[in-house]
């Protein structure tokens, strides 16, 4: 496995239970980890392994605090070792996954673990939830000033609370969601100029800058070289991890 992983509007949790570890290269350098949590990154990273056995979870930032016990902002823009988030429980979970008879049992073990960790007492403000839903539902095409006004908050207050509870400012979050919308269109074979117009970019150069920021690639490279077979499978499974009702873009 050799993946270059671009920014995504999710908190990603990977648990390696085969005992081989994962080689992760990000802004913090190169590390070998038994599992990790990646917040809302602003830079691409690389993950490599030799015959790894993994469970991957993608969580909405709205769920992350209640399930991880760590605020998204504490994760920063780099990978955090799983033990630094769940402590000894991470080791126990890996052992249970390794002992499971099949994938159905592993999924059941993972769901049970998350259910035990879930706490309704931890979570973002209702206004932050509503703001995030608006950003995601619009494909990142929302004016932050208008969003703050509709929520009854000042621009400054929304920015501060959003960054503390989601991990990014509303503007950065909108950029990230819009980037993922654009990637969907690029991978569907649509021309970059059309994607730029429909996803709310000023022009094609604006799209190229954001793709370079989050994927460290050009739009053409994303569509022609970015997806090895394992990445294509992960991409096709995307809807199973993080779902929302999309709205027509460019309207």
Tokens of 241: 């991890």
- Report pLDDT for 183: 83
- Report pLDDT for 150: 94
What confidence tier does 248 reach under pLDDT thresholds 50, 70, 90? very low
Query: pLDDT at residue 223 above 60?
Result: yes
- Report pLDDT for 69: 79
Q: Strand ranges (DSSP E) for 74-229?
A: 79-81
Rg (CA), the chain: 18
Residues 37 and 127: their CA atoms lie apart, in Å, by: 26
- Report pLDDT for 251: 32
Please, are residues 100 and 15 in contact by the beta-carbon 8 Å criterion? Answer: no
- Report pLDDT for 121: 60
pLDDT in tens, 52-76: 888 988 888 888 877 887 777 777 7
Please, are residues 174 and 135 in contact by the beta-carbon 8 Å criterion? Answer: yes
Sketch out the chain's domains with CATH numbers.
2-117 (no CATH), 126-241 (1.10.10.60)
Residues 93 and 156: their CA atoms lie apart, in Å, by: 41
Taking the CA atoms of 77, 167, 139 and 204 in sequence, report the sign of the dihedral they define: negative
* The overall pTM is greater than 0.85: no
Helix, strand, or coil (residue 44): coil
Dihedral Cα 110, 227, 85, 43, nearest 10 deg: -160
In this prediction, residues 154-158 reach a mean pLDDT of 94
* DSSP label of 249: T
Percent pLDDT > 90 in the chain is 37
Residues 1 and 66: their CA atoms lie apart, in Å, by: 31
């Amino acid at each position: 496995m050799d993946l270059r992983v671009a920014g995504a509007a999710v908190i990603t949790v990977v648990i390696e239970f085969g005992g081989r570890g994962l080689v992760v290269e990000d802004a913090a350098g190169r590390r070998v980890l038994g599992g990790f949590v990646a917040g809302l990154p602003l830079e691409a990273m690389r993950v490599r392994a030799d015959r790894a056995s993994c469970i991957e979870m993608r969580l909405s930032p709205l769920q992350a605090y209640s399930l991880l016990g760590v605020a998204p902002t504490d994760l920063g823009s780099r990978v955090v070792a799983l033990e630094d988030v769940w402590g000894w429980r991470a080791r126990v979970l890996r052992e249970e996954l390794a002992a499971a008879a099949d994938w159905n049992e592993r999924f059941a073990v993972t769901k049970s673990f998350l259910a035990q960790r879930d706490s309704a007492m931890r979570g973002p403000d209702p206004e932050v939830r509503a703001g995030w839903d608006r950003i995601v539902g619009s494909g990142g095409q929302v004016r932050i000033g208008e969003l703050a006004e509709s929520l009854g908050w000042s621009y400054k207050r929304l920015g501060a609370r959003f960054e503390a509870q989601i991990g990014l400012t509303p503007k950065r979050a909108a950029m990230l969601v819009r980037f993922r919308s654009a990637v969907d269109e690029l991978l569907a074979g649509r021309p970059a100029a059309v994607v730029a117009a429909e996803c709310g970019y000023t022009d094609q150069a604006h799209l190229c800058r954001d793709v370079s920021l989050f994927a460290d690639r050009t739009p053409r490279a994303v569509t022609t070289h970015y997806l090895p077979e394992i990445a294509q499978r992960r991409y096709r499974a995307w809807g199973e991890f993080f779902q929302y009702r999309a709205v027509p873009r460019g309207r």
